[in-house]
A and B are shown apart, each in its own frame.
Chain A
Amino acid sequence: MTYIDITDLVNRATEDFAVGQLLKKDSFTLYETMSAIEIMDPKMDSGMKCKKPKYDFNSLKTCSISMEQVIKIIDKLNGLEVQWLKGYMIYQTLLTCLFVNDPLNISNSYLKAYVNGLLKCCYYSYNYITTAAVYSEEDFVRDSTGFIDSYFPKDIPDAEIVGDLQKIEEELMKKLKNQKKNNNSNEELPEDPKNEVEIINSLLARIRFRRAFLNVLSNFVQSNKKNMNKIKKSITFASTQIPIMKETEETINADIDDFFDENINRKMYSQMPRVTVKFTSEETYEYYTNFFNEAIYLCSLTTEAPYQALINIAKKISGSSNTSTLLRAILHCIIFDSNTIISNPKESKLLKRMNLVECIKEWLISFCDPVMYMQSDNEEIKELMNAFYDRYLNSAVDCIRIYGYNRARLRRLLVKFITEWDKLQEECELLDNKLWDILVMSTGLYNEEEPKYYISSYIYHIKLLYLEEFLSLGIELEIFMKHELLYTYWYLHYLYDVHEDHLERSEQLQSFSSNYKKINMKSKDYNLEKNLADLKLSSYSYLYEKMIISAHKVISNAYVFMFIAFRKTQICKNPECEFDKENVRFFHRFKLFTEVNSPAIVPYEIFLQNIEAIQSEENSLNNCFAYAATEFNNAKQLLLRIKQFPDNVTQTQFYHDAFLKDIDDLLIVVQKNIDNINIISRKISIFMKIKSMNTNVNTRKMNINLNFEHNKIYPIIEID
């Protein structure tokens, strides 16, 4: 092919242009301008001729590499692996290493074994993430060409790769022994024996780490008890290597620049602005450490459990500071048996052994026990109930799936999700009416009674949980700013209040059910003893749910009073700019509530009336602090009782230690706030006195500090 120089042509064609005039098609919009590349600008043009790399694939095959270099290459590869897992393209990360492009021809046997181990890990990671499919483009880049497959050694069996790594470990161990012998016999010492030992040890730690990591990833595929035990061991083993790797990262030096080429991707199809992926080794080790810390919880997923317990573990992993796309993907693959749930939710098995419909039934029983419908012989009722289960399946799956996505997106997902539940609730109200009519007709009883809203009450309960989470996430993700916290806690308190009422009302459903059972069902219908035990368990679970809601209610109320005091004293105030309007902010923050049927939206005016009523009370400052302290104390009592429940009541079977730690952390927050309230109120009253004597004092001098270290929604409040 020959190239033609068109400079002259272009110059002539553009002669009539004014400076800065641009000729473009209408379709050249913002997106195109942003992704356009300025030719010959080294910041953007990845096709620019650069300095010729030292090695090509041929000379690479025969180059000699020192042990120090191997270690350094491994460290950089680990860093790139982590950046890839965090969302950079494989072309910008792992494939910038020349060896990764041609792993079978690596001459150095250590490096060859390592790179193959690494690529096999990548193969597993890639499969988990793409199979679970709970990521967005910022979290992970899927390769749509299928090209990526050719880089992974998927045809080499794990055993072979693990075996190669093991062989090297043995070889290195031997070397170490010889070193020691030599040292002892004092003959022919190498130049720096101590250094030599350190180098071998560092390499050994890295090879061991990789083998353990590969074992972890490969064993999660078959998540049975035996494999989970293997994983636990491998996690411990890998975790002990990390400190050694970290330590030697600094002390070993070698030049490895020639083995990496950022521009290598321009030979491949990928076109993008040239971005140098920057990272620190700390970030790399933190990623691995966090992964292992959290993966331990996944190993507990070997027993049967109620669906709620599965939701809870998904929630836990989503909310953990150790979380990652890979971790959440593995969790989803384990729970949903490699995501067969999407194509066939009715037949697929959770944790490879539990049927989803059965789980849904259990959940429904534990909430309100609609026994007259669930165990009915009436064909019409049976049909309606089955239609409900079918309709409900996808929503139930979503209850777990939404926690697979990046938490930063959870609020947006919840908006869609809540609107769905709202629709579902509406449908279920109709269903409840129908079921009730049939029951009244077929039994000839209950003519006098109000219809019972079993199913819709259950759906409403779950919807309220999501609404509460939606608002709480606004605080957790730092979307609500300090001056917005008053109305946020105020609204949260309203939600918890509605929820508490709802749970109290729903208790009547349970007593209706137990009466129904006494009258209509003979003991032969079911195993009485088991049923009683189950009932006791579910009534404890219900009590626990009520207590949790009440605890949140009193805590949010305590913050409401604290922030009313800060508002009154202007320590925390709205921006003083003509563009800021609190009522506008309030409307948009709670707009979702205008889009759902229940609970009713509380308009801004009500909020303001309520706040101002409290503010204008006599002695309101002291009262506010006193109320807050009382509410924190109430919370403390509730939390201490909540801590006593066993894990099958709280449904935290898979992470009960972490659950207790969370409660303890919340207790710390509550206690610290109780302690601080005295100091805060004293400081404020002194401050207000000075202010009333001298109006020039700037209220900005006093500032509240919110410490979210122990809890992401409820801070410890300090003042300075």
Chain B
Amino acid sequence: MPSNKSVSDAPIVQFTNCRILRDHWLQREDLWVREGKILNPEKLFFDEKGSADVQLDCKGSIIAPGFIDVQINGGFGVDFSLATDDFKSGIDLVSQKILSHGVTSFCPTLVTSPPSVYHQVLPQISVRNGGGHGAGILGAHLEGPFISREKKGAHPEHCLRTFEAGAFQDLLNTYGSLDCVRIVTLAPEMKRSSEVIRELTKRGVCVSLGHSVANLSQAEEAVQHGATFITHLFNAMLPFHHRDPGIVGLLTSDKIPAGRRVFYGMISDGIHTNPAALRIAHRAHPKGLVLVTDAIAGMGLAPGRHTLGQQVVEIDGLNTYIAGTKTLSGSVATMDTCVRHFQEATGCSVETALEAASLHPAQLLGIEHNKGTLNYDSDADFLMLNDSLYVQATYIAGQEVWRQDASGM
């Protein structure tokens, strides 16, 4: 209840009987929320002489920060790289559906596409807070078209481009605008990439290395110019070699500028990476691991054929290939499945698995003061999970936006 020295009259909710992830470990503590933010109850008690208006018994659940997916190409029949008339309702549908996977913020990802697609689609993506309508949008992730021909993976070859003529201007012309762009994946071995990386970094865009045949020194140079992320480690890059570890070598490179950390995305669906490789990466650089789904339109739908930008893909169980080939193309894994699989495959602690999907992506994007933790004054985006890390309820800004019903849907 508010009292004489009250800072606000907004209701205060106290989540009790739970274990919260804070300071890297699961603590037997209550979670206090007011006005969409995590509240400091000690300050409330001594400064405001306030106490809770509502107490909710969480029945022993784990409370963790909401998951942040920085690489998701679509889902539930929606393809972010397709410039349809109802693009907006498509992105709304995905943002609403992924709440049940524990995702409270995401970066809609566009694969390599012709400029017309970027010009039509990007203006329809806006950075916005999450809520009952769906997960928050942090900005777009543009994966391509400035990538390597040899490592294009499922990206359409005819849309690949270089920026050797006009460097950053070429990039800007291709995309049209960088207004809501949060991450750009490019291949650093391309001519004039250093200028482009510097320009993007200056504008606050996170540069990621991927779909590339760069060697380790090219990758290190890119990092020195500002690159901070690696797109789906191991996939679409040169394999680790003991005399030239390539991009994978960034995990243990000694040429990373002081005070900076290189993060790397991992699709831990059990298919894109062998569990042993996942363990090697995790053990080499545990603090940099960011779980991503790289989910495509077919995620959440029945097996069969779906689109991925300009391509047609075929889904068979958890495997998704370019139709008629054995080339992997995105995944149909959900974020909570990835978290569980990561925890099982590496044998890491529950805290580590949860942080790989929340704290680390927030740190990558430089938003950890607000997202990715349950620290006081952070946005109250959190999940209730059981001990096996199945999501039971999703909260955004302190409001319940999804709950698993009794039938387990």
Q: Are chains A and B native binding partners rather than an unrelated pairing?
A: no
